Amino acid sequence: MARRAHPPSNAGHPLLRLNPHDCVPFMDMLFADGATGSRKMDALPSPRIMNTHMHHALLPASISDNPDCKIIYICREPKDMLVSLWQFTRKFDANLAFSDVGPIWDHVLGYWNASKKSPETVLFLKYEETLRDPVESVKKLARFVGQPLSPAEEEAGVAEDIVRICSFDKLKGLEVNKRGEPGDWANHMTPEMARRLDAIMENKLQGSGLVFA
């Protein structure tokens, strides 16, 4: 959405200089700041781009029920998601166990069901699929937010430039959690733990149409 103000081919692009969290405000933290956070949110230029970990059911109606508001939900394979969440929260509690993290299925199903009900305003993406074809994923995102790439932009390789500046190789010098590699759960879970979690997720997602390979 900001590619005209900040061309992705620009060597001084904000994503090459700043932490991504500095470029996209974390809505949860703004809400936690009360009136101060509300003023900061109101001061953001339109269209506003924000990040959140909120459950869909907890989103303000001004977001969830607003036909002009686009929601993009990126979901990882459940075992990788659990490991990532566990590793992040362990920064604050080194004794945190796997069993203390979760459940995750209600959060996932909230956005999945919303995307089925309102596909024009809620886009549900699987992280692993975006990695398999990142260029097409960028084009899909651009179309979804109403900013499709023009033929000239496609010819100029704008989608490829966006993929490049968003890659982990470019972010490696910044404060990011991990490399986000699919299948990392195998380095932290026993086969029995993985089997049990797969069975739980299959049971919880039954009938929803959402499956993970």
Contact 86, 98 (CB under 8 A): yes
Distance from C-alpha of 80 to C-alpha of 73, rounded to nearest angstrom: 16
How far, in Å, CA of 183 to CA of 85, rounded?
A: 14
What 197-202 contacts at long range (C-beta under 8 Å, 24+ apart), as own/partner pairs, is 197/78, 197/79, 197/82, 198/78, 198/79, 200/105, 201/78, 201/105
Q: List the one residue out of 206, 201, 205 whose CA is nearest residue 82.
A: 201
Q: Which of 6, 13, 21, 53 is catalytic?
A: 53
Which amino acid, residue 198? D
Structure tokens at 179: 């490399």
Tokens describing residue 51: 């990040």
56 catalytic, yes or no?
no
Which of the residues are catalytic?
53
